């Protein structure tokens, strides 16, 4: 970790007078020549590490995040341009290099090293973020719905505002006037009294010589001119003509291709491999033993693939080869039964005492399976190792970590590894894991030419980092009015974020606890992480309580959210737009759910229809309050995306363990939602004020419970185990069945 | 060695003719707009047009495409200025997210509009359900197809008035 000695660039502060502003503290000379060389061209003026102004008046935002369809480049540049009062048509972006100055850690550390007072509207972001960065410091992550919340707020807006201030200062000095006499609009500084004006480019060289102010004022939301609109996303044109460069599309002179197979059983190693079994096959160049995997390098990918299929290799040694999914769920049940090993997650009042004294107790057990990410672009990385230097081309949600990991694998310094990040053909958390980059670097380290390593879909499905399987048990005490007085929830395995199992409802006596129960199945961040399962558990169970009380599930939630106006507003908007009380056909049902994650509140109302014993999701009405929607259409697109992603998992998603490995292999047995099954989706946005929330993840958590609650409404079958496809919702479906 | 007609151009490539067309396009012809997703004709990311018919190139031996017109995303609007109406509609509706499946989506949509200039939702479902989008852009794909269909019909009407030739056809007219 000695690589992190540099002083943070940015600090935060609060100005006197109670106006929320930020400070940028830059020590001149701290901008290393390396950074300038990486991001700036001759004649550019660089402001902090986030912004450069070129002589042709183009303004470039330097963005430390990967584009995986969430529109991050456009949204972050909007935040910078708005504070700068730039002309949007002159804005450009480049993706920041994978060097320490662009690490999230540097951003986060700025808060700690600067004034201790953090503006209230950023406290959640910073706390949540710091929770992560104290555990890992080599992050340049695109994930956690953090880009707008963290980089946008801290780097883009503050740098935009600070740069605007020095541009004004430069104009004032040049024209011998006061800065307060100047106005800025659309990339031009004007002095009304003298009629003088200058473009940013004309002022930038002089402005770059001035110290950036410690405490530039940020705009109020009613002053935004660019934020809150929907400019066309920059990444879309190259995605309609095949020209967008994904990791898989990289082509280098002399490049060869590699196919890889890891041990099918988790934890197994290569026992033996016989390269002679494939060495005479066309195009084959080399067989590489990676210890827990084998790779074949060939002139073409298809040749490598064919040879790998024929390679004589044996794996073993883990002792996991008899593990089955049923064993894992039994292990979880046993762990929950051993109550003395429970760790408290949240506790208020005395839930056990209230339950013991209650007249009516409702209990239920829920279960969810492992899930794979199934990005459309299978894992891949191109590596070139030469002269003590390694270059990687890949789509990464954490390029700095990839560089560290490849360096470690090759015995190099991180400074000897360069990551050329490409468009990501889906991320969803999967591309935060560096396994493929380490494999590629190690294979490339054995050959004198660049190698593109590409996983098959089968490899991608069987060697993911999986959303955890889990079991969650509930008990609730209802009073004479049917309202919950105690909430008791125990579940298996806690990852992140901390608050995922917490409920927003006014229930005084609560106990939420968990038990750790290890399995050999690798875990990974999966869109919305722990929220993806806990929203299903808690929003299904609250629905059960409403029905047990004989109450309308929407009205029941309303009553329990009475003290939370923002949650209530989102819930009401979804119900109103969906026509909550409107009639349905006999084979139809309607369900509702609400969940807050990553600072954003989302409620969804789902209409289902039952045909042939199966549930079809017809329509989703989504209401969302992210505080403020920076890119409105982008937020709507992320809601649509999060809904389809979550609905796919709710309906079909299941990774199961068979003989110590993953039973599923490709889209025929790990099924995806297709266009003929996709619901109509409408999204309604509330700018509720306060802290900015995320966009990429919060759309996912509510859809599974809203869907399952709609299935209950239609059939009387309570879905306590996902995926829904396993449940027969036919004629017998009106009889609620025990699936626990 | 194999000779193929790709986007109206004859290409002779030094590759085993049993290699799936996908890898011939990507690794030998340098046309990387066509994507690999599953290798078993389940996801449609590799969809190209062969004599105008949408085809999963990941399971088609290249030899089977010999003597037929192969059209990829790079050749969709060949011989015409600007963007194909589907590509413009995809921008106007802000369809793509990660974008990885969109070449396959657009090629399948082009084949649909060639045969059905005014597709309804059912026709869109039938034509497009072979192509998976993990970003869930389906509602926008539906809007994009309808928007492009309108544009093509309008263009066709204008060109008919001007005495020009027919509407853009998704590049199915090679020889």
The verdict on B124 touching A (C-beta cutoff 8 Å) is yes
Contacts of range A30-38, beta carbons closer than 8 Å, 24 or more positions apart: A30/A6, A32/A101, A34/A99, A35/A99, A35/A101, A38/A97, A38/A99
Do strands B2-6 and A360-368 pair parallel, antiparallel, or not at all (unpaired)?
unpaired
* pLDDT at res. A213: 82
ipTM here: 0.94
How far is B136 from chain A, CA to nearest CA, in Å? 5
* pLDDT at res. A140: 63
Q: Do A645 and B134 touch (CB under 8 A)?
A: yes
The answer to which of A84-98, A631-645, A678-692, B154-168 has the lowest mean pLDDT is B154-168
Closest to A394 in 3D by CA, of A414, A372, A377: A377
Query: Token pair for residue A413?
Result: 């310094």
Does the pLDDT value for residue B172 go beyond 90?
A: no
Q: Which of B20, B100, B130 is opposite residue A377, by nearest beta carbon?
A: B100
Q: Are residues A203 and A274 in the same domain?
A: no
Q: Do B96 and A239 touch (CB under 8 A)?
A: yes
Contact criterion met (CB below 8 Å) for A636 and A627:
no
% residues pLDDT > 90 (chain A): 76
Mutation pick from B88, B106, B135 vs chain A, by most beta carbons of A within 10 Å, is: B135
Quote the DSSP letter at residue B106: H
CATH code of the region B85-162: 1.10.150.120
Indicate the residue among A205, A238, A271 that finishes a domain. Answer: A238
- Read off the pLDDT of each residue in A188-207 and give the average, rounded to a whole number: 96
What is the residue-wise DSSP string for A204-259?
HHHHTTSPPPSSPBPPPGGG-SSTTB-PPPTTSGGGTTT---BGGG---TT-EEEE
Does the pLDDT value for residue A557 go beyond 70?
A: yes
Q: Are residues A281 and A334 in the same domain?
A: no
Q: Are residues A429 and A522 in the same domain?
A: no
Q: Alpha carbon of A329 to those of A398, A461, A535: distances in Å?
A: 32, 21, 20
Does residue A427 sit within a domain?
yes
- Read off the pLDDT of each residue in A525-549 and give the average, rounded to a whole number: 97
Does the pLDDT value for residue A224 go beyond 90?
A: yes
Q: Are residues A179 and A275 in the same domain?
A: no
Q: Are residues A261 and A233 in the same domain?
A: no
Rounded to an integer, what distance in angstroms lies between the CA atom of residue A21 and that of residue A118? 10
* pLDDT at res. A587: 94
Does residue A504 sit within a domain?
yes
Does residue A372 sit within a domain?
no
* B98-137 pLDDT, tens digit each: 999 999 999 999 999 999 999 999 999 999 999 999 999 9
Q: Which of B90, B95, B128 is opposite residue A675, by nearest beta carbon?
A: B128
Looking at every residue in chain B, the average pLDDT score rounds to 93
Query: Token pair for residue A193?
Result: 């009294």
Closest to A614 in 3D by CA, of A468, A479, A496, A725: A725
| Chain B residues with CB-CB distance to A301 below 8 A | 23, 26-27
- Give the residue on A whose Cα is nearest the Cα of B83: A241
Burial label, A125 (beta-carbon count in 10 A; 0-12, 13-18, 19+): buried
% residues pLDDT > 70 (chain B): 93
| Chain A residues with CB-CB distance to B45 below 8 A | 376
Q: Do B139 and A678 touch (CB under 8 A)?
A: yes
- Read off the pLDDT of each residue in A79-101 and give the average, rounded to a whole number: 88
- Read off the pLDDT of each residue in A222-235 and give the average, rounded to a whole number: 95
Q: Within 10 A of A691 (CB to CB), how many other CB atoms are there?
A: 19
Does the pLDDT value for residue B97 go beyond 50?
A: yes
Q: Are residues A502 and A429 in the same domain?
A: no
Residue A445: CATH number of its domain: 3.30.365.10
Helix locations, A466-564, DSSP H: 531-548, 553-560
- Give the residue on B whose Cα is nearest the Cα of A306: B19
User: Higher confidence at residue A212 or residue B66?
Assistant: B66
Q: Are residues A650 and A598 in the same domain?
A: yes
Domain count, chain A: 3
Does residue A290 sit within a domain?
yes
User: Higher confidence at residue A49 or residue A737?
Assistant: A49
| Chain B residues with CB-CB distance to A457 below 8 A | 37-40, 43
Rounded to an integer, what distance in angstroms lies between the CA atom of residue A161 and that of residue A77? 13
Q: Are residues A234 and A264 in the same domain?
A: no
Does residue A365 sit within a domain?
no
Q: Do B98 and A676 touch (CB under 8 A)?
A: no
- Give the residue on B whose Cα is nearest the Cα of A460: B38
How far is A699 from chain B, CA to nearest CA, in Å? 12
Closest to A98 in 3D by CA, of A368, A402, A352, A532: A402
With the C-alpha atoms ordered A173, A175, A176, A182, is the resulting torsion angle positive or negative? negative
Burial label, A144 (beta-carbon count in 10 A; 0-12, 13-18, 19+): buried
* pLDDT at res. A135: 35
| Chain A residues with CB-CB distance to B94 below 8 A | 232-233, 236, 633, 637
Q: Do A457 and B98 touch (CB under 8 A)?
A: no
Domain ranges, residue A63: 2-238
| pTM, rounded to two decimals | 0.91
C-alpha A210, offset from chain centre: 38
Q: Do B125 and A675 touch (CB under 8 A)?
A: yes
The verdict on B89 touching A (C-beta cutoff 8 Å) is no
- Read off the pLDDT of each residue in A708-724 and give the average, rounded to a whole number: 97
* A106-144 pLDDT, tens digit each: 454 443 333 233 333 333 344 344 334 333 334 566 666
* pLDDT at res. A15: 22
Does residue A371 sit within a domain?
no
Maximum CA extent, chain A:
85
Closest to A209 in 3D by CA, of A156, A161, A170, A172: A170
Q: Are residues A253 and A279 in the same domain?
A: yes
How far is B67 from chain A, CA to nearest CA, in Å? 22
Q: Are residues A293 and A431 in the same domain?
A: yes
| Terminal Cα-to-Cα distance of chain B (whole angstroms) | 21
Looking at every residue in chain A, the average pLDDT score rounds to 88
Rounded to an integer, what distance in angstroms lies between the CA atom of residue A203 and that of residue A174? 9
Q: Are residues A443 and A502 in the same domain?
A: no
The verdict on B107 touching A (C-beta cutoff 8 Å) is no
Q: Are residues A67 and A131 in the same domain?
A: yes
Q: Determine the angle formed by the axes of helices B138-162 and B102-115, rounding to 10 degrees.
A: 50
The domain spans of chain B are 2-75, 85-162
Does the pLDDT value for residue A4 go beyond 60?
A: no
Does the pLDDT value for residue A358 go beyond 70?
A: yes
Residue A153's pLDDT band, with cuts at 50, 70 and 90, is: confident
C-alpha A128, offset from chain centre: 14
CATH code of the region B2-75: 3.10.20.30
* A481-535 pLDDT, tens digit each: 999 999 999 999 999 899 999 999 999 999 999 999 999 999 999 999 999 999 9
How far is A84 from chain B, CA to nearest CA, in Å? 26
């Amino acid at each position: 970790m000695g690589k992190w000695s540099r002083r943070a660039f940015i600090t935060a502060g609060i100005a006197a007078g109670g106006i929320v502003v930020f400070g940028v503290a830059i020590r001149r000379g701290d901008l290393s020549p390396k950074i300038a060389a990486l991001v700036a061209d001759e004649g550019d003026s660089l402001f902090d590490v986030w912004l450069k102004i070129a002589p042709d008046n183009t303004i470039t935002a330097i963005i430390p995040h990967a584009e995986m369809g969430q529109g991050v480049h456009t949204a972050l540049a909007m935040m910078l341009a708005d504070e700068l009062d730039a002309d949007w048509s002159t804005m450009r972006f480049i993706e920041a290099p994978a060097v320490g100055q662009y690490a999230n850690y540097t951003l986060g550390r700025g808060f700690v090293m600067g004034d201790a007072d953090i503006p209230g509207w950023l406290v959640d972001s910073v706390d949540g973020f710091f929770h992560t960065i104290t555990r890992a410091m080599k992050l340049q992550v695109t994930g956690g719905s953090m880009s707008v919340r963290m980089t946008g707020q801290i780097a883009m807006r503050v740098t935009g505002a600070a740069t605007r201030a020095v541009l004004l200062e430069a104009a004032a000095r040049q024209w011998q006037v006061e800065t307060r006499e100047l106005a800025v609009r659309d990339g031009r500084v004007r002095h009304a009294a003298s009629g003088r004006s200058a473009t940013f480019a004309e002022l930038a060289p002089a402005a770059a010589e001035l110290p950036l102010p410690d405490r530039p004022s940020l705009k109020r939301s009613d002053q935004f001119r660019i934020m809150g609109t929907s400019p066309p996303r920059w990444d879309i044109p190259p995605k309609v003509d095949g020209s967008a460069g994904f990791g898989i599309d990289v082509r280098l002179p002399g490049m060869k291709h590699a196919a890889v197979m890891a041990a099918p059983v988790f934890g197994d190693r290569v026992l033996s491999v016989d390269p002679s079994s494939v060495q005479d096959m066309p195009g084959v160049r080399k067989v590489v033993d990676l210890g827990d995997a084998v790779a074949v390098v060939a002139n073409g990918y298809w040749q490598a693939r064919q040879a790998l299929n024929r390679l004589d290799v044996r794996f073993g040694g883990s002792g996991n080869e008899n593990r089955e999914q049923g064993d894992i769920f039994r292990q979880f049940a046993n762990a929950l039964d051993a109550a003395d090993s429970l760790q408290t997650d949240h506790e208020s009042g005395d839930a056990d005492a209230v339950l013991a004294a209650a007249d009516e107790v409702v209990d239920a057990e829920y279960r969810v399976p492992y899930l794979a990410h199934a990005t459309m672009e299978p894992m891949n990385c191109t590596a070139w190792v030469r002269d003590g230097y390694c270059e990687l081309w890949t789509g990464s949600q954490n390029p700095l970590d990839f560089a560290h990991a490849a360096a470690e694998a090759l015995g190099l310094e991180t400074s000897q590894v360069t990551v050329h990040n490409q468009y990501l053909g889906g991320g969803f958390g999967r591309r935060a894991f560096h396994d493929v980059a380490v494999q590629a670097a190690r294979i490339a380290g054995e050959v004198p030419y660049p190698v593109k390593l590409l996983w098959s879909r089968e490899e991608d499905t069987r060697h993911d980092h999986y959303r955890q399987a889990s079991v969650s048990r509930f008990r609730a005490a209802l009073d004479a009015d049917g309202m919950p007085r105690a909430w008791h929830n125990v579940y298996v395995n806690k990852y992140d974020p901390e608050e995922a199992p917490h409920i927003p409802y006014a229930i005084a006596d609560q106990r939420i606890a968990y038990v750790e129960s290890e399995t050999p199945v690798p875990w990974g961040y999966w869109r919305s992480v722990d929220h993806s399962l806990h929203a299903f558990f808690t929003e299904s169970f609250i629905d059960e309580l409403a029905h047990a009380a004989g109450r309308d599930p929407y009205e029941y939630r309303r009553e329990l959210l009475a003290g939370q106006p923002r949650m209530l507003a989102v819930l009401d908007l979804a119900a109103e737009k969906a026509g909550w009380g409107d009639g349905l056909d006999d084979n139809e049902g309607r369900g509702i759910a609400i969940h807050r994650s990553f600072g954003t509140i989302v409620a969804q109302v789902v209409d289902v229809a039952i045909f042939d014993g199966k549930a079809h999701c017809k329509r989703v009405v989504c209401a969302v309050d992210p505080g403020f929607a920076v890119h409105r259409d982008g937020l709507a697109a992320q809601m649509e995306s999060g809904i389809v992603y979550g609905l796919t998992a709710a309906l079909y998603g299941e990774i199961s363990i068979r003989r110590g490995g993953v039973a599923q292999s490709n889209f025929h047995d790990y099924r995806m939602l297709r266009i003929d099954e996709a619901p109509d989706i409408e999204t309604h946005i509330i700018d509720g004020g306060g802290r900015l929330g995320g966009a990429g993840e919060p759309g996912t958590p509510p859809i599974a419970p809203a869907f399952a609650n709609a299935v209950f409404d239609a059939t009387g079958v309570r879905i306590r185990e996902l995926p829904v496809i396993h449940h027969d919702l036919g004629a017998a479906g009106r009889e609620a069945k025990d699936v626990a | 060695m194999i000779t193929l007609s790709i986007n109206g151009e004859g290409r002779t490539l030094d590759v085993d003719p049993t290699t799936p067309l996908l890898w011939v396009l990507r690794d030998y012809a340098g046309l990387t707009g066509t994507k690999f997703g599953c290798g078993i004709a389940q996801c449609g990311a590799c969809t190209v047009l062969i004599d105008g018919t949408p085809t999963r190139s990941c399971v088609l031996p290249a030899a089977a495409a010999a003597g037929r017109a192969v059209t990829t995303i790079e050749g969709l609007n060949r011989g015409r200025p600007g963007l194909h109406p589907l590509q413009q509609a995809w921008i106007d509706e802000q369809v793509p997210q990660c974008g990885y499946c969109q070449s396959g989506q657009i090629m399948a949509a082009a084949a649909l509009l060639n045969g059905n200039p005014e597709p309804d939702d059912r026709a869109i479902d039938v034509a497009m359900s072979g192509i998976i989008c993990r970003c869930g852009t389906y509602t926008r794909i539906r809007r994009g197809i309808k928007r492009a269909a309108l544009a093509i019909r309008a263009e066709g009407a204008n060109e008919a008035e001007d005495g020009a030739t027919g509407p853009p056809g998704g590049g199915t007219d090679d020889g």
